[in-house]
Amino acid sequence: MDLFDIIDFEKLKALYKFGRALHLKDIQTLIKSAHKRSFSQGDYLIQEGDTKREVFLIRRGLIRAFSLNDKGDEITTSLRWENQIVASTDILLFNEPARQYIQALEPCEMLSIDFDLLQSIVSQNPKLEANRKHLLRAELKRAYHRINTFVLLSPEERYIEFVHANPDILNRVPNKYIANILGITPVSLSRIRKRIAAKRK
Amino acid sequence: MDLFDIIDFEKLKALYKFGRALHLKDIQTLIKSAHKRSFSQGDYLIQEGDTKREVFLIRRGLIRAFSLNDKGDEITTSLRWENQIVASTDILLFNEPARQYIQALEPCEMLSIDFDLLQSIVSQNPKLEANRKHLLRAELKRAYHRINTFVLLSPEERYIEFVHANPDILNRVPNKYIANILGITPVSLSRIRKRIAAKRK
DNA sequence: ATCATTAATTATCTTTTGTTAATCTCTTAG
DNA sequence: CTAAGAGATTAACAAAAGATAATTAATGAT
């Protein structure tokens, strides 16, 4: 057996996200519990009604989360890609069955971690509380910022802002999903893009 | 000196919000530090650039938080009233100077608490961590729900949802502020209200 | 009682969005 | 190479929203 199989630096590096103050013993526990999961394009990581308490770290790939509106249309509400965390907030934060679907838009390689195990380890490492708080706050900040884009900006400004904030994933995601995220229809986004292009020249 | 001046049940009751597992000593510390502050209609609790680390518990009254958009218009982003907590998230959560104004829309009676003192007390009462997490999560849940109203609902549906969720404060707040919160103009809200009224009969 | 102020409504017009359907492009499976 | 499917764009029309200004309603101050 190779040393790399024992230590698994890949996993270690990924787990680093959860805190730089982990005890060796806990790192081992986490690495043992964390396992790699692959998803093909179109696969669902989570479906409505799911209750499995697990956190995904995206090592490679890109996912979308979506809900169904009253007409039954899929409305994409968020995108996540490499080095980001994905989980059902309904399940983990609010102890409710998932209301959202999470779907792979590209072939994905994930690190799946048992959430409750992670929580218990965090509880035993007081230094990690800061980390947990940091993650929650970062998420809250994202959410506030998003609300502000709806309240303060027009759809066109919202799109420009999105492009500036996420230039890297623009060409990895169908525009119709980005339209959903901006709260407009794909047709309308297409017109906005045309308008912006006309202004530029 | 009256017994009530010593114990101050009013304050105690208000502070209860921060946790039911406080040590007597900590309760005393908090009560000593918490002081009542009154604001007249129109007064500012917090202005852009402020850095004072304080949390308000609303005992009576109603406030709005607003930002300035690129044109310099005041855009109301949230409302809070009795038994809710108000603070600058920029200051307390993100350690940045406030970007938002917070203004009393009615004569307000607040309990002002030093945030860092509160934090240190929470840190010394492990049972309170649960409380703190609960508050953060509740806030996150509110934020997610708000985002969903923008992504999933039309302005008209958003208004109906708002009315259902907040029937009590509708007649305490000028509609123009509610329009801001819904991400539309006051004129448009007026038309929506007319449209809804027409449908009802 | 009157005036001034502020909010809400209404009117008018322009711009944008939603909706539906058709067309175009691109990729992929056979 | 062709056909099928998905996504993006375009078109055409209806509905809604933004902008601006005028009007009405309500409130408080003098």
pLDDT, position B5: 44
The reply to whether A192 Cβ lies less than 7 angstroms from strand C is yes
Which candidate from B69, B94, B183 shows the least CB-CB separation from A150?
B183
Q: What is the pLDDT of residues A40-92, one digit of tens each?
A: 999 999 999 999 999 999 989 999 999 999 888 999 999 999 989 999 999 99
pLDDT above 80 (res A11): no
DSSP string, B23-70: -HHHHHHHHHH-EEEEE-TT-EEE-TT----EEEEEEE-EEEEEEE-T
pLDDT, position A147: 98
Q: A130 touching B, CB under 8 A?
A: no
Q: A120 touching B, CB under 8 A?
A: no
H helices then E strands: how many in chain A? 9, 8
CA of A167 to C1' of C24 (A): 26
pLDDT above 80 (res B28): no
What span, in angstroms and rounded, lies between the C-alpha atoms of B40 and B43?
5
Chain D positions with an atom below 7 A of a protein C-beta are 6-12, 16-21
Q: What is the pLDDT of residues A171-193, one digit of tens each?
A: 999 999 999 999 999 999 999 99
The reply to whether A195 Cβ lies less than 7 angstroms from strand C is yes
pLDDT above 50 (res A1): no
Chain C positions with an atom below 7 A of a protein C-beta are 6-11, 16-21
Interface test with B, best of A75, A152, A181, A182 (most B CBs within 10 A): A152
* Contact predicate B66/B75, CB 8 Å: yes
Average predicted confidence (pLDDT) for chain A: 88
More confident residue, A68 or A29: A68
pLDDT, position A135: 86
The reply to whether A187 Cβ lies less than 7 angstroms from strand C is yes
